[in-house]
Every structure is written in structure tokens, then in C-alpha cells.
Amino acid sequence: MFPLSLNLFSREKKLSLRGLDRARASPSTRALSKPDADLAAALAAHEATSHLVAGWPASGEDGGGRDDLKARLLSAVRSRLAAPGTAGAGEGGRGGTEEGDEEQQLESLRQSILVAPAPQKRPRQLENASDPAAPPRADDYYWLRDDTRKAKDVLSHLAAENAYVAASLADTNGVKDKITKELRAAIQEADEGAPVRKAGYWWWWRTKEVGFSPSSTPPPPLVPFLSPSPSPAHAPSSLSLSKKT
């Protein structure tokens, strides 16, 4: 999950004190003790551990129950960092089963802290267009239909759902990037098919190389497209390119 030998407060990591101050003042850690707020700030400052505190809700939500979960997670992290043998394999190191169980506990705590957005219920009665005599049906979530894709409340809810998913899957970002790179390395992105004669033109498909983007900004898909051209450069040299009449 993260390097257990990582010294979160080492000078080599160049942890910004200003960044620590900002994290301590974060709404998500306001109810925590100073040592816990400091540890949360340190975790957030490092790529290898930032997923542990990603998407934390503001302190005080649901009566403070999630603040207790945050404190439990930070306590578990502190115990792992202080445990002997956390620097890696070797004498005194812990078994894989024990370490795996601890990682599962941390992940379970991390997921339980996150708050999935719940859409509001806005009752609405809908008439049956095909059978006016039928009783209307109730739809509490009809407001989520937005054919214009411009309703601010719908877009706001979708943004909250996207943020929740991003936080929930934050621990997989490195893996997703690695898999994406491996898959893209196995294909020829910039490619072109053989031309085909149709309606007096030569047609061919082509894909463009779009490069790689991190999982936070997915790359556009590879979309083949057809291009008409009478140009000899895209047709067999032994065939005529004259347009049919």
C-alpha cells in the first residue's frame, strides 16, 4: 500500500511547513488532535500515501462518527510506521499474511470514511401518456433527468459522484497508469489501413497517436476514421484514380 520505511517528516522529503499549516486548517481535519492533523497532512503531501486521506469529508458530519474513523486510521498508520521490520524483508520482518491483514484493515477504514453522495428526493407525479386513465406514478428522482446537460444541480451532483469514485479508487491510480502504459505499448497507435476504391474515391482508415495521460486525465480514445482522397499517395500505384462518371 505504501512504503512502511517512509519517514514522513524527513528533511529529504522537503515537506512544506506552509503546506502542513494549510492541511491542519483543512475542514476535514479540524476536529482531530494536532498530532493526528500533522500525520494526515504528511500523508497527503506524499504521492505514495495521499490516497489514505483523499476525499475525506468535513469534520463534524454525521455527528463526528467519521472523525473517529479518521483517528482510528491514523492510529493504525502510526502503528505500522513504528512497528519493527517495516523497512522491508529481512530478520525481524513481519509475515506477508500479517501485513496483508493490516492493509485490508487500513483499506476498510479508508473506505468507511468516504461519504457517497445521495441525490435529494423531489417527489413528482408523472402522467401516463399512453394511458391517461392510469393513475400517475411517483418519481422522486425525475429531477436528475437533464436533456440540456446544463442544470446546475444535476451537474453538481454528478461532480460529487465523480469525486467520490475518484477518492474511492485513489489507491489504484498507480496500477491503472501502469496497465494503461503496458496496453498502449502493445499496439501501434499511429496506423493506417489499405485504401479501398468506392464511388470514384480511395478510402482508408487512420488512427492517430494521442500520447499517454495519467489516470486523473484519461486520454481520448483511438477513433478510426475514413478519408476520401483521389491522391495517388494513398492508393495502389498500379490502379487508376480517375473519378467514375
Q: Check whether 99 has a pLDDT greater than 60.
A: yes
Q: What is the pLDDT of residue 196?
A: 87
Percent of the chain with pLDDT over 90: 41
How far apart CA 107 and CA 171 sit, in angstroms, is: 9
Helix (H) or strand (E) holding 39: helix 34-44
Q: Beta strands 191-192 and 125-126: pairing type? A: unpaired
* Residue 193 near residue 235, CB atoms below 8 Å: no
Q: Output the nine-digit C-alpha cell for 191.
A: 496506423
Q: Output the nine-digit C-alpha cell for 171.
A: 489507491
Torsion sign across C-alpha atoms 193, 197, 202, 205: negative
How confident is the model over 18-40, as a mean pLDDT? 77
pTM: 0.67
Q: Please classify residue 238 by burial: count the beta carbons closer than 10 Å to its beta carbon, then call 0-12 exposed, 13-18 middle and 19+ buried.
A: exposed
How far apart CA 113 and CA 52 sit, in angstroms, is: 10
Q: How many residues appear in the chain?
A: 245
Indicate the pLDDT class of residue 84, thresholds 50, 70 and 90.
Answer: low
Indicate the pLDDT class of residue 176, thresholds 50, 70 and 90.
Answer: confident
Q: What is the pLDDT of residue 22?
A: 53
Q: Please classify residue 51 by burial: count the beta carbons closer than 10 Å to its beta carbon, then call 0-12 exposed, 13-18 middle and 19+ buried.
A: buried
Q: Check whether 21 has a pLDDT greater than 60.
A: no
